Amino acid sequence: MSTAGTVLTGWQKSNVHIVLNATSISTAPTGTATYSIPNVGNGPWPRQNKPIRELGYQSTGGTNSMRILSDYQVASVQRPSFTLDLPFTPTMLALAAVAVMQQRTTATADIKVYPFTDPQASKFFGFETTYGANAGRTVTGAIGKTLKISVPSAGADGGMPTLSLDCLAYSTAQMDALTVTPATLHTTALCQSTDWNVAVGTVGAAASAIGFCGFDLTVDNGAEVDPQVSANPAAFELGELTMKGTLKAVMSTTAGDEYNTILDNFLAGTPNKLQFNWGVAGATAYLQMPVLWDEPSEPQKQGNVMVFDAPFRAYYRDADEPEFMFVGMATPLTIWA
């Protein structure tokens, strides 16, 4: 039962209305939402994160050994954490990247997202998620902690990549009426695995296309709640930024093929440049990073080809690497400058 007193059969869900801001961790969602996205698999969230604590203030002895009400207390402070499953579109990937990397710049109509230098998060979002007409929850001062991208093999259906964002927030509350004006629903077509291509090369030089069968990438900013004692967190402290993943590539019988090259670079500790392109040559977006390889797996059969997994980790080289570039995103993300 919602706070509006309406029984919602099967937790019927509508949309998530997102408001972006870059001013205050405690700014609640107001006005008109920046985005309204389909609530795809996000469930009735975020939870309140208020545990019941056993205090032992009163004696529980006597004729009945059960604890009494005053032995318990519900924690009053909530610091929510939750996962946001996003539709995998260019705008949603850009939103997630800025939320985690916390650093961006505008280049004409494009935006670049790169590693943060400020030890505290400064870009926050608030949102409301509704069940039925308007009952649901509202979230204030959220940031992204972990961005997860998974692009599977193409397959007969073209492959369906997934995009998720693990979040921290200042506060969350039940609601029985919308306080933001929903934006137009974000209905951009979802990407498929076949929209992506990957290039590998020498650090600082152009990369060359590689035969790949998907990849996974995790970006984590190490964020933690500011430990200062107060009713609410003063900030989110950012830690070490890590970018790790696995590339699944195709084997070949060529002398200098990808497997031998990556294995040799792993053994020698030689870095490479790795670029994930959304569209031809990154026409929509690209993720560019200098990487060190972990040992690639033994070749394995997939369909009628031989493939292998090549784990990698990115490192900071300069202001342009690692870097996320999003083409034509300056306008939709202006409010999050």
pLDDT of 4: 41
| Burial call 278-292: b when 16+ CB within 10 Å, e when fewer | beeebebbbbbbbbe
d(C-alpha 16, C-alpha 88), whole Å: 15
Task: Report the phi/psi class of residue 155: left, alpha or beta, with left for phi > 0 and alpha for psi in -120 to 50.
Answer: left
Q: What is the pTM of this model?
A: 0.88
Question: Would residue 68 count as lying in a domain?
Answer: no
pLDDT, averaged in runs of 10, over the chain (337 residues): 43 75 81 83 63 76 73 82 89 94 90 92 88 78 96 87 92 83 89 92 80 93 84 80 95 74 93 93 92 93 87 92 92 82
pLDDT of 222: 96
Question: Would residue 57 count as lying in a domain?
Answer: no
pLDDT of 252: 75
pLDDT of 3: 42
d(C-alpha 328, C-alpha 190), whole Å: 17
**Range of the structural domain that residue 319 is part of:** 13-47+75-336
Question: Would residue 69 count as lying in a domain?
Answer: no
pLDDT of 260: 87
Q: How many CA atoms lie within 13 A of 39 on its CB side?
A: 21
Residue pair 146/167 in contact by the 8 Å Cβ criterion: no
d(C-alpha 322, C-alpha 292), whole Å: 12
Question: Would residue 289 count as lying in a domain?
Answer: yes
Residue pair 198/209 in contact by the 8 Å Cβ criterion: yes
pLDDT of 218: 98
DSSP code for 42: -
pLDDT of 270: 94
pLDDT of 284: 92
Question: Would residue 310 count as lying in a domain?
Answer: yes
pLDDT of 47: 64
Using alpha carbons, list the distances in angstroms from residue 73 to 4, 56, 79. 26, 10, 17
Compute how many other C-beta atoms are within 10 angstroms of the C-beta atom of residue 253: 6
Question: Would residue 268 count as lying in a domain?
Answer: yes
Q: Where are the alpha helices (DSSP H) in the chain?
A: 90-101, 258-268
Residue pair 288/206 in contact by the 8 Å Cβ criterion: no
Return the amino acid letter for 55. Answer: L
DSSP code for 101: H
Residue pair 210/259 in contact by the 8 Å Cβ criterion: no
pLDDT of 2: 39
- Using DSSP's 3-state secondary structure scheme, residue 36 falls into strand
If one counts the domains in the chain, the total is 1
Q: Of 310, 309, 308, 270, whose CA–CA distance to 290 is shortest?
A: 270
